[in-house]
Amino acid sequence: MAIKKTSERPSREPDDRVEKSRKAVLAATHQLLAESGLSGVSVDEVARRSGVAKTTIYRHWQSRESLLLDACSQLSSRPPVPNTGKLRTDLEAWIAEAVRRLQQPWATVMPSIIDAAERDKAIAELQSRIHAQMRAGLVAVIEHAQARSELPHSENPRKIAAFILGPIMYRRFISREPLDEAFAKSIVKWAMRIE
Amino acid sequence: MAIKKTSERPSREPDDRVEKSRKAVLAATHQLLAESGLSGVSVDEVARRSGVAKTTIYRHWQSRESLLLDACSQLSSRPPVPNTGKLRTDLEAWIAEAVRRLQQPWATVMPSIIDAAERDKAIAELQSRIHAQMRAGLVAVIEHAQARSELPHSENPRKIAAFILGPIMYRRFISREPLDEAFAKSIVKWAMRIE
């Protein structure tokens, strides 16, 4: 419920000043998220950093949670879908972009969302949406390969996606081992053998 | 540094009462960890739950962090290493046990450790140790298969482990999809093709 409400905008034309303070608040929230994760964001601290009064913040977002959901949604921009006509080159491009994004500062926010999702349904929904967006390009690459019979039609694309994205996420967040080019190549090589 | 210190024990024989309150404190910490993750554990709340005075808690552990590190270390017991003589059956047994553990209540603590590891070196070290213990049996299974030439000798066992454990961790914590038997079978089937 909370998630939908945050995207509603007042029907009157927002003036420049309103838009400017909205942007400042979101920027401060992104900064705090990158520095200390979900639990490090308080409306007090966002007000201090952005220079926007708490009352103004609460005029845009009902609650700290609404603000968090809005800020996190904006972080999960949809990566482009490679379409080279071949599974190998599509996968190489998609993995390279995913690895690049996972090494940017905001990627450190992801584990705090994953953690909060274990105990909070609204965050779990947000986590699902962010993840579905992140994975969408990979699923498209897999479906294109299935249409060309480069991958078996019988397999669920989301299962194949787990085999490709799983080792990447595992190395980044769990084993904390390098996501180098050799590792990316092995995943592509292995994915080409799915049948 | 902090990690090593927590495992040091006073040289005098601990009496029963000391051991009993130590156990009560660890049990309360485990409970709080399962309920609310790493950030939900305060020494005040541990004292309240365990009925052990704060001063006594600080006699055993220098700080909240030492207590957390000690409690988390105890959660990561080493799973048994299957040794059936065949990669397929070894993997089936190892994956079944890993999936069972990942569905127990304390598994919800793992994301809060993963999250804190992004920003705290002592926790990152702890996370590495917990993860190395969790993975040790799988690495042994892979090495046994390499010795029997069921898997290529040229591949790093930890890389093969990422291909097997990655999709499991991904489904449990990131895509939040079911870890059913069909998925486990697909991983085994796919792992048998590594060459």
* Residue B37 Rama label (left phi>0; alpha psi -120 to 50; beta): left
Size of interface A-B (CB pairs under 8 A): 105
pLDDT number for residue B1: 40
B121-140 burial code (b ≥16 CB/10 A, e <16): ebbbbbbeebbeebbebbbb
Determine the residue of chain A that is closest to B103 in CA distance: A118
Q: How many CB atoms lie within 10 A of CB B77?
A: 9
> SS3 of A178, please?
coil
**Nearest alpha-carbon partner for B195 in B160, B151, B131:** B151
- Interchain CB distance below 8 Å, A176 and B112: no
3-state secondary structure string across B63-86: CHHHHHHHHHHHHCCCCCCCCCCC
* Helix locations, B8-156, DSSP H: 16-36, 43-50, 54-60, 64-75, 87-102, 109-117, 121-147
Lowest mean pLDDT among A124-138, B10-24, B53-67: B10-24
Is there a contact between B12 and B35 (Cβ–Cβ < 8 Å)? Answer: no
| pLDDT (0 to 100) of residue B145 | 95
HSE-CB at B114 with a 13 A cutoff on CA atoms is 28
B168 contacts on A by Cβ (under 8 Å): 166
pLDDT in tens, B30-63: 888 888 888 778 999 999 999 999 999 999 999 8
Question: Residue A185: closest CA among chain B residues belongs to which residue?
Answer: B159
Q: Output the pTM of the full model.
A: 0.82
- Could B131 and A173 be called an inter-chain contact, meaning their C-beta atoms sit closer than 8 Å? no
Q: Count Cβ atoms within 10 A of the Cβ of residue A32 and give its class: 0-12 exposed, 13-18 middle, 19 or more buried.
A: buried
Q: Report the pLDDT value the prediction gives residue A121, as an integer from 0 to 100.
A: 86
Distance from CA of B186 to the nearest CA of A (A): 9
Mean pLDDT, residues B151-180: 93
Dist CA B40 CA B42 (whole Å): 6
Q: Which residue of B has its CA nearest to A182?
A: B159
CA distance A128 to chain B (A): 7
At A140, is the secondary structure helix, strand, or coil?
A: helix
Contact A119 B37 (CB under 8 A): yes
Q: Which token pair is A118?
A: 């274990």
Residue type, B69: L
| Window A:48-107, CB contacts with B under 8 Å | none
Q: Which residues contact B142 (CB under 8 A, 6 or more apart)?
A: B151, B157, B160, B161
Is B115 in contact with A119 (Cβ distance < 8 A)?
Answer: no
**Which of A119, A120, A121, A175 to mutate: most B Cβ within 10 Å?**
A175
Which tokens is B124 given? 């990152």
The pLDDT value recorded for residue A13 is 53
What's the pLDDT band for B75 if we cut at 50, 70, 90? low
Q: In this complex, do B175 and A193 lie within 8 Å of one another by their Cβ atoms?
A: no
| Inter-chain residue contact B162 with A176, CB threshold 8 Å | no
CA gap A159, B171 in Å, rounded:
9
Chain B contact for A131, CB < 8 A? yes
Contact between residue A158 and residue A139 where contact means Cβ atoms under 8 Å apart: yes
Q: How far apart are CA A162 and CA A131, in angstroms?
A: 12
Nearest CA to B67 out of B80, B78, B82, B54 is that of: B54
pLDDT value at residue A36: 80
pLDDT, tens digit (0-9, with 9 covering 90-100), for A165-187 = 999 999 999 998 899 999 999 99
Which one of B151, B170, B190 would you mutate to disrupt binding with A, by most A Cβ within 10 Å of its Cβ?
A: B170
B157-169 and A157-169 are packed helices; what angle lies between their axes, rounded to 10 degrees? 120
The two three-digit tokens of residue A8, written as one number: 């509603």
The whole-number pLDDT of residue B89 equals 96
Contact A140, A78 (CB under 8 A): no
Which residues in chain A have Cβ-Cβ distances shorter than 8 Å to B193? Answer: 190, 193
**Chain B residues whose beta carbon lies within 8 Å of the beta carbon of residue A169:** 166, 169-170, 174
Q: Per the CB < 8 Å rule, is A119 touching B159? A: no
The single-letter DSSP state of residue A96 is H
